[in-house]
Structure 1
Amino acid sequence: MSSVNKLGLNERQAVILTVGFYMVTALVMVSVNKWALNALKLPWVLLWCQMLIAVVLLKITDAAGLLKMPVIKKDVAKALIPLIAINVLGLGVNTLCLVYVDTSFYQIARGLVLPFTVIFAYTLLGQPSSKLVLGSCFIVFCGFYTGVTSEINVSQMGVFFGVVSSITTSLHAIVIKKSLAAVNNSSIDLVYYNNALSLMVMTPIVFLSGESTIVVEQYYEEGFGAFKTFLFAAFITGIFGFLVNLAGFMQISKTSPTTHMISGAVRGVLQTLLGYFAFSDIITTGRLLGIVLILTGGALYTYAKDQEMKANTKPSYIPMTQQDADGDDDEERNKVGRA
């Protein structure tokens, strides 16, 4: 986040820029990923290409003197194993979810992020939630249930990958916050380690999934033409994958979960509109009601957090910034530090 501060922005402007940056890059990633997967359903190859391009871009910025990349150390890599595991799993299920569902339903399939976040905040960090927060989670669950059960031809695999994606997304913020300490709180170092090590893990998965064989077979049968759209989309998503990775770490390190939820809600609305206009998704009444309930639950959660902070009560969310941690007493600091 120091790179944002170097632009001479105040705290409010830095937060707005960070959230806006994250929303734009995340939206582009979803749309272009869907475009690539419509051309060729090779999710693991697509992710591998994205990781490779991201690592190459980081190396280029290092060679150009724009950013300084760290030398990978064994002890740091070991400390980041949970982050790499949750990152590879999360990227995999996110992409597989997009294979089975369209862009607008993607919002519903991954709609349980908030309930899982509250559950993990309690089970992993020992942070209870207010009745209003629990009510918001119930509304979100109702939205998820309504959206899933209203679809006639809903993909069970798509819903399954969406639920797993919700779990990994909920855990990601906790793991990132803990992992920052291993790289001296440097977002850039964490981005490099995350991409480089994830690329190493992803390589054998591409072969084990059988997608590498499919690539070779299709190349010999249809030539390079079949891969033009896919490779172009992979290149674009590789660039934006690097950006969204950086933007996500920046947002989590800079903003509170309340801001994170607001940006997620706005992104959900834009994503639904994107699916309708760009991919001609059919927005059924049940799907629309599900999305509205999920976003309403997110809005209620945000309101509950604002009320807690105004009342000077200890917020029952996962602290993601130093400002959040500084407001807690010594016991709470020790609890978060152990998490």
Structure 2
Amino acid sequence: MQLEKGLASKYTYITYVIAAYWIVSILTVFVNKALLSSDAVNLNAPLFVTWFQCIVSVAICITLRIISQWFPDCIEIANDSPFKKDTLRKVLPLSILFTAMIATNNLCLKYVGVAFYYVGRSLTTVFNVVFTYILLGQTTSFKCIACCAVIIVGFWLGVDQEHVAGSLSILGTLFGVLGSLSLSLYSIRMKQTLPIVNQDIWLLSYYNNVYSIIIFIPLMIISGEHTTVYNYEKLGHPLFWGAMTIGGVFGFAIGYFTALQIKVTSPLTHNVSGTAKACAQTVLATYWFNEKKSFLWWISNIVVLTASAFYARIRQLELNKEYRIETRQFKV
């Protein structure tokens, strides 16, 4: 009886974590869409919005670090400076990729609809396979390559249907592809950088956001966003800054719940959950924004979602097989 209660409590906790991940992830996309391209905000400064979200993330990290010093038994946050020469040299290349990733993701979301957002950024898996081979020299099975080919077909079908409907944004789609590319490179580089910070994901997140705050400044000046922000009529409105802060909190929260979901389940479950979440997000977006989509448009989404899920499952089976072989060799 005690064991059954323990299992029930564990599964209930996992269910709550997955539900929280879904809610936070979907709300983050909708909140960012409102900040980036809604008539209510009406601020054409996507880099500034992303920059401010990095500031909020750093403020949260510093706050958590102070709390951890007051209550070390409840929370433990590493205390280290991002401005050490050795840390800067080793982590900055990753932070440049992090900056490119979050900037292109928000730029993609600014120009495309929420419903198309997942398909617009669906080439991450394809780039993972390409760069894993080019940078790490690791080959991929035929089954995984076939899944990537299907994802590309689904992506092009989605782009074609957006064009047919007259809602295709070339710029938004380009930023989606660049977002997929930078995310792929970031994931590969992160595996090489984590040992430098003792596998501390939150410390790495703190470093990335601190460096991104600095990197974004010249980018905003070059793009002219500093002038746009200075002349923004709602710059002194508390509601505007409240919305910006909420966006920053959600941006930080999605990182936390992503890591938590992986921790209490597995990378495979996280991928499956993320794929299912993307499906729900697409359906919700078409309803919320009252968008009518063609049959082929829905087929493109189904193709991308299904191929992505199959890829995750095939890779998991392959990794399990490799692990069993290595274990047997070690025992021998």
Q: Name the SS for the 1:80 alignment partner.
A: helix
Name the % identity: 30
Question: Which segment drifts farther, 48-57 or 21-30?
Answer: 21-30
Q: Name the SS for the 2:321 alignment partner.
A: coil
One of 166, 185, 190 as aligned partner of 1:171: 185
Which structure 2 segments of 5+ residues have no match? 1-7, 69-74
- Give, in angstroms, the shift of residue 286 of structure 1: 2.8
CA gap of 1:250–1:97, structure 2 versus 1, over 3 A, is same
Larger Rg: 1 or 2? 2
- Give, in angstroms, the shift of residue 296 of structure 1: 1.2
One of 212, 216, 240 as aligned partner of 1:202: 216
Q: Name the SS for the 1:202 alignment partner.
A: helix
Contact 1:177–1:253 (CA<8 Å) still a contact in 2?
no
Query: What's the TM-score, normalizing by structure 2?
Result: 0.82
CA gap of 1:191–1:110, structure 2 versus 1, over 3 A, is same
Is it true that 1:58 corresponds to 2:61 in the alignment? yes
Q: Where does residue 107 of structure 2 map in the other structure?
A: 96
State the one-letter code of the partner of 1:53: V
Contact 1:58–1:192 (CA<8 Å) still a contact in 2?
yes
One of 247, 266, 284 as aligned partner of 1:274: 284
CA gap of 1:295–1:223, structure 2 versus 1, over 3 A, is closer
Q: Name the SS for the 2:231 alignment partner.
A: helix
- Give, in angstroms, the shift of residue 46 of structure 1: 0.7
CA gap of 1:239–1:301, structure 2 versus 1, over 3 A, is same
CA gap of 1:21–1:178, structure 2 versus 1, over 3 A, is farther
Q: Where does residue 146 of structure 2 map in the other structure?
A: 135
Contact 2:229–2:235 (CA<8 Å) still a contact in 1?
no
Give, in whole Å, the separation in 1 of the partners of 2:66 and 2:259. 23
Is it true that 1:76 corresponds to 2:79 in the alignment? no
- Give, in angstroms, the shift of residue 276 of structure 1: 1.6
Give, in whole Å, the separation in 2 of the partners of 1:79 and 1:14. 37
CA gap of 1:63–1:255, structure 2 versus 1, over 3 A, is same
Residue deviations 1:78-101 (CA, integer Å, cap 9, x gap): 111222011100111101101110
One of 213, 226, 250 as aligned partner of 1:212: 226
- Give, in angstroms, the shift of residue 108 of structure 1: 1.3
Question: Which segment drifts farther, 171-180 or 15-24?
Answer: 15-24
Residue deviations 1:276-299 (CA, integer Å, cap 9, x gap): 233333333232111100011012
Residue deviations 1:99-120 (CA, integer Å, cap 9, x gap): 1100001111111111111222
Contact 1:187–1:246 (CA<8 Å) still a contact in 2?
no
CA gap of 1:250–1:83, structure 2 versus 1, over 3 A, is farther
Question: Which segment drifts farther, 256-265 or 78-87?
Answer: 256-265
Q: Where does residue 243 of structure 2 map in the other structure?
A: 233
CA gap of 1:253–1:174, structure 2 versus 1, over 3 A, is farther
Q: Where does residue 182 of structure 1 map in the other structure?
A: 196
State the one-letter code of the partner of 2:286: Y
Question: Which segment drifts farther, 12-21 or 163-172?
Answer: 12-21
- Give, in angstroms, the shift of residue 47 of structure 1: 0.8
CA gap of 1:67–1:173, structure 2 versus 1, over 3 A, is same
Contact 1:187–1:250 (CA<8 Å) still a contact in 2?
no
Q: Where does residue 24 of structure 1 map in the other structure?
A: 23
RMSD, aligned CA: 3.1
Is it true that 1:286 corresponds to 2:286 in the alignment? no
CA gap of 1:303–1:68, structure 2 versus 1, over 3 A, is closer
CA gap of 1:240–1:223, structure 2 versus 1, over 3 A, is closer
Give, in whole Å, the separation in 1 of the partners of 2:132 and 2:328. 16
